Amino acid sequence: MSDEGSIGPRWEGPADPVSAWLGLALEEEPPAGDAPAAVIGRAPASPPLLLAGGRLAAGPLAALVDTVGGMTCGLALQPDWVVTSTLTLLVGPDPWPEGGTLVARGGLLHAGRRSAASQVLLGSPEAPEASAVALISSARVRVPTLSNRPRPLRRPAPEPELGRPLAALVDLATSQERSEPVRVELADTLRNPLGILHGGLTAVLADAAARRLAGPSWTVRRLSLRYLVPATTGPVRARARVRPAGTGALTAQVEIVDEGHDARQVATAQVTLAEP
């Protein structure tokens, strides 16, 4: 991500439509001994987090872990805020039965003067093993108009109506010709409180671009993003290039650009896909 002085003023739009879209509630777990506090996210195990056949949807899942992991880093770096600089998500092959709750546990790995890193483990309350794992690194940003988050963090899922404008994101992988890039207008509902494209939604675009080109039978197993500069203007375009990577596997390189800001590149993604 760009350096600390590049972020604009606070965005005054509706509160957290991404969490509303996912049905995501957040809760801070008090620290045990010298361990840092953990952030727990809970969301319904249903679309948009699930695809057909119970496959975990990597793009929406990345939006969830970006929120949980970013909040974990942000709490560690208060009074400053953070923006995601890298995100890597590994998704297991086993289908998830529709229903129940998906639990994401964010743990702090590192907190320094300029950055922090966290790990997010995703699974069900009943199963000890993780169905997906994510690593997130965040850069510190100083925005005087943003207040500290109250502690301990307790944030119920927002009203679903707030997330309805994001519902069309789940159709990006199949709504146009396979050779066409994914393109969205940068509406307020896609922006985070800093006024830039939500880091998790950048991952949704990368996931959709790779799956659109690969075809509907392919599922993302690994999604790795590097954020370069904020997307501030839009439309935002994600274009993938896919090549074989052995039997039953494809890799995709995705370039994400802010068309309205001189088509500057805002992020790159590497995606590994597998057939069910």
Q: What is the pLDDT of residue 216?
A: 84
Confidence class of residue 128 from pLDDT cuts 50, 70 and 90? low
What number is the average pLDDT over the span 137-149? 79
The CA distance from 134 to 90, in Å, is 6
The CA distance from 88 to 82, in Å, is 17
Q: What is the pLDDT of residue 9?
A: 39
- Looking at the predicted structure, is the pLDDT value of residue 235 above 80? yes
Q: What is the pLDDT of residue 237?
A: 96
pLDDT tens digits along 185-234: 999 889 988 889 999 999 999 999 999 999 988 999 999 999 999 999 99
What number is the average pLDDT over the span 104-119? 95
How many alpha carbons fall within 13 Å on the CB side of residue 183? 13
Strands (E), 92-158: 101-111, 115-123, 132-141, 154-155
The CA distance from 165 to 272, in Å, is 28
Q: Which residue has the higher pLDDT, 271 or 179?
A: 271
The count of other CB atoms within 10 Å of the CB of residue 6 is 13
pLDDT tens digits along 25-34: 999 987 766 6
The CA distance from 117 to 69, in Å, is 8
Inter-residue contact 251 to 273 (CB < 8 Å):
yes
Phi/psi at 160 (nearest 5 deg)?
-55, -30
Per the document, the length of the chain is 276
- Residue 120 CA to chain centroid, in angstroms? 12
Confidence class of residue 24 from pLDDT cuts 50, 70 and 90? very high
Map out the domains of the chain as residue ranges.
Answer: 4-274
Fold held by 4-274? Porin (2.40.160)
The CA distance from 242 to 273, in Å, is 10
β-bridge mates for residue 193, sequence order: none
pLDDT tens digits along 52-107: 888 899 999 999 999 999 999 998 888 888 999 999 999 998 888 777 899 999 99
Q: What is the pLDDT of residue 2?
A: 38
pLDDT tens digits along 164-173: 889 889 888 8
The CA distance from 58 to 150, in Å, is 30
- Looking at the predicted structure, is the pLDDT value of residue 175 above 90? no
C-alpha dist (Å) from residue 177 to 63, 212, 214, 215, 269: 25, 8, 12, 10, 21
What number is the average pLDDT over the span 33-46? 85
The packing angle between helices 199-214 and 58-76, to 10°, is 160
Q: What is the pLDDT of residue 140?
A: 93
How many alpha carbons fall within 13 Å on the CB side of residue 97? 5
* Structure tokens, 66: 């970006």
pTM: 0.91
Query: Chain-wide mean pLDDT for the chain?
Result: 88
The count of other CB atoms within 10 Å of the CB of residue 78 is 12
Share of the chain above pLDDT 90, in %: 61
The count of other CB atoms within 10 Å of the CB of residue 114 is 12
